[in-house]
Amino acid sequence: MVKHCHGSLAIFTLIALVDFGCASEVVPSSGPRPPTDPAQVKFFEKEPRRYELLGNIEVPIGGDVHWDKRGEANAGMEQLKAQAAQRGANGVLLMGDDPQMLKAGVSYKGQFYHVPIRSGKPDAAVGRAIYVLDQ
């Protein structure tokens, strides 16, 4: 019985070490970055290992920015990438400031994402422009 407890403790410790080993680090900004190419900006649903936070971005929903019957939101996702690129980002972190924020499931060029939505007039898709140093 005691051996089983020690084995369970060892497994728990190993899981905890693996889990803590993947913690994200937001490094201080090195200052303004030159704009990047929106085509090179990637979406992240989880925090990368090390990154700089360049600021919050948002795209109002309406007009060209909508979800079609298949859940495609290409125009809105392109606008998020363009805003991030203007700030010098190479990534968009799909996280909002409010952890209780609703997330909409959308498709972008065949890939499925959960995009935070800020309720308001108008509603807006939100994210964070980031510069990823280490994934």
pLDDT tens per residue, range 54-77: 999 999 988 877 776 677 899 999
Cα(85)–Cα(70) distance, rounded to whole angstroms? 27
**Token pair in block for residue 64:** 């060209």
Mean pLDDT of 98-123: 90
Instruction: Write down the domain spans for the chain.
Output: 24-134
pTM: 0.80
Cα(14)–Cα(58) distance, rounded to whole angstroms? 39
User: How do residues 26-52 score in pLDDT, each as one tens digit?
Assistant: 998 888 999 999 999 999 999 999 999
